[in-house]
Structure 1
Amino acid sequence: MGQSLKYRGYVFDLDGTIYLGDQLLPGASETISRLRENDARVLFLTNKPIDRREAYAEKLSRLGIPTSPDEVINSSMVAAQYLSQQMPGARVYVIGEKSLIDELADVNLTLATDSSNTDLVLISLDRTLTYEKLHFAYHAIKSGARVMATNPDLVCPMPDDEIIDAGAIVAAVEALIRRPLDLIIGKPSRVMIQVLLDRLDLPPETCLMTGDRIETDIKMGHLAGMGTAL
C-alpha cells in the first residue's frame, strides 16, 4: 500500500544531488523508487549543458535509476527551444560544446561565421575555450549581437574537484562589454521555470525542488512557488 506524500511532483538537480561523477549519492536510488511507487511525478533538472537529455537519461538508468529522456530537462535543450521560438532563423555564435551546437542545429538555427553578421552570442560551459572565441564574441556584441548564456554556474562539481562552468565565461564577457548579459536561460531563470512547470503539469505549490545550490536550485524553487529542499 502506498504512502501519503506531502507533494505530488518532485524535481531533482543532478550533479551534487543525485550523483557525483559516476557514483550515486547515498539514498538517491531508494528515494526515487519510493516516490515513483507512490505515483509521484519525478523530473530531473540540470544546468549542465555538455550532454543531451538522452545521455543524462542513459547515465541515470545505468546507475540504477531507470529514466527516460522526457524526464530530464537541461539548459541546452531549453536554450534551443527558447531561441527557436523567440529568434527563429537567428545566426548564433556559440561558446560551448558539441551537444549544445547539435541542439541548436536540431531547431534550424544557423551557426554564425562572421562577427559582423551575428544575431546572438550564446555562452555555455566550454572546455575548449580560446582567446579567438572570446575575440569573436566581443566583436559580434560590439556589432549589435545580443548575448545570452545557458547557465550562471561558476563551477560544476566533480568527484575529486570542480570544473570551470559557463558563469566564469559570462563574467569575462560582461567585463569586456561593461554590462550584464541580455538573458541567462538556465536555473533560476523564468525561462527554465516555465519549461519545468509545463512539463510537471501540476500546481507549483504541490511540487518540491531539491538541489545543492542556494543561488540556482533553491532560488528557482522559490521563484516558481514550489517547496524547496537543500
Structure 2
Amino acid sequence: MGIPATAEEVFGSSYSAAVYISRILPKQHPDLQQKKKVFVVGEAGIETELDAEGVPHIGGTDPKYRREVTPEDYKLLAAGDPSVLDPDVGVVLMGLDFHFNYLKMCYAYHYIRRGALFLATNTDSTLPSAGALFPGAGSISAPLVKMLGGQEPVAFGKPSQAMMDAIEGKFRFDRSRACMVGDRANTDIRFGLEGNLGGTLGVLTGVATKEEFLEGDTRPHFYVDKLSDLLEGIQEQ
C-alpha cells in the first residue's frame, strides 16, 4: 500500500508473546529453564512466531488435538501421565483458535494446574469480520479463567504495556511524536493513552462507534471516519 516498512517493524501480539517467552521469561522465572516447551491453543501464526524465536512448542495445529475427548483421556490427564502431559511444558499460550474444543481446554487446564504459566496473545472479546462480530481470542481463554477461579492470563495484545516496552526497547522511538491509531477504545486507544503517546486517533471502520469515542470511558484525542481521510486532508493542503 506504499507504506515503507519491514517485517521487523510489525509488532503483533503473537510476536510480542514469543519475544517475552524467549528473552524475558528466563530472567523472571529461572525455575522454568528446564520447562521450555509451550502448549499452544491457537493457529499457525502463533507457531510461526515461536519458531522464529526458537521456542519449542506442542498443541496448536497438531491434528491429534482436534478430536473428541475419550474416557481414556480423562484417566491419563487426571493421573498426569507423561504420555499425554509433556513434563517439559512450562507455558500455556492461548490465542484465537478456529478449532478450539473441549480436549484442548482440558490440556491447557491441567498444564496450568501443574505449574505452567498462563499467557494469552490478547484478550479481545470479539473479532470483527464480514461486517459483524465473532468470538475473539479473549473468548477462547475465558473458559480457563473461569476454571482457574478468576485467574487472568498475562496478555500481550493491546492495551498491555509489555508490547509498548518491547517496541520502545527495539526502536527507541520518541513516544511524544507517536500516535496510536485504532478502532477499539478499550484496547487500541487505551494502549496509546497508558503508554503516554503524543496522540491517539480513533477510526470508525471497526468495532467502536462515534458515540463510544465521544462519550465512553476511554476517549481518543481525535477520531476520523476512516484512516484514508488523513490522506485527503494532506492532499487538500
- TM-score by length of structure 2 reads 0.65
Deviation at 1:105, TM superposition (A): 2.0
Tell whether the 8 Å contact from 1:115 to 1:137 is kept in structure 2 after alignment.
Answer: no
Q: What SS does the corresponding residue of 2:180 show, helix, strand or coil? A: strand
Q: Does 2:107 correspond to 1:125?
A: no
In structure 1, the residue matched to 2:38 is 92
In structure 2, the residue matched to 1:209 is 180
Q: What SS does the corresponding residue of 1:163 show, helix, strand or coil? A: strand
- Higher mean Cα deviation, 214-223 or 197-206? 197-206
Q: Pick the structure with greater CA Rg.
A: 2
Relative to structure 1, the CA distance from residue 69 to residue 112 in structure 2 (aligned partners, 3 Å threshold; closer, same or farther) is: closer
Residue number among 153, 163, 171 corresponding to 2:124 in the alignment: 153
Residue number among 194, 201, 218 corresponding to 1:229 in the alignment: 201
Relative to structure 1, the CA distance from residue 148 to residue 205 in structure 2 (aligned partners, 3 Å threshold; closer, same or farther) is: same
- Higher mean Cα deviation, 113-122 or 184-193? 113-122
Deviation at 1:87, TM superposition (A): 3.3
* Amino acid aligned to 2:47: I
1:54-203 alignment, distance < 5 Å: 61=1, 65=3, 67-88=5-26, 90-112=36-58, 114-115=84-85, 117=87, 118-199=89-170, 201-203=172-174
Tell whether the 8 Å contact from 1:92 to 1:112 is kept in structure 2 after alignment.
Answer: yes
In structure 2, the residue matched to 1:45 is none
Structure with higher RCO (Cα < 8 A, 6+ apart): 1
Distance 2:135 2:4 in 1: 29
Across the aligned residues of Structure 1 and Structure 2, the Cα RMSD in angstroms comes to: 2.0
Query: How many positions carry a matched residue from both structures?
Result: 168
Distance 1:195 1:151 in 2: 15
Distance 1:200 1:119 in 2: 30
Q: Deviations over 1:17-62 (max 9, x none)?
A: xxxxxxxxxxxxxxxxxxxxxxxxxxxxxxxxxxxxxxxxxxxx4x
* Amino acid aligned to 2:22: S
Distance 1:109 1:186 in 2: 19
* Amino acid aligned to 1:94: V
In structure 2, the residue matched to 1:21 is none
Deviation at 1:224, TM superposition (A): 0.7
Structure 2: runs of 5 or more not aligned: 27-32, 60-83, 203-237
Relative to structure 1, the CA distance from residue 71 to residue 111 in structure 2 (aligned partners, 3 Å threshold; closer, same or farther) is: closer
Tell whether the 8 Å contact from 1:80 to 1:104 is kept in structure 2 after alignment.
Answer: yes
Deviation at 1:155, TM superposition (A): 1.2
Residue identity over aligned pairs, in percent, reads: 32
Tell whether the 8 Å contact from 2:181 to 2:201 is kept in structure 1 after alignment.
Answer: yes
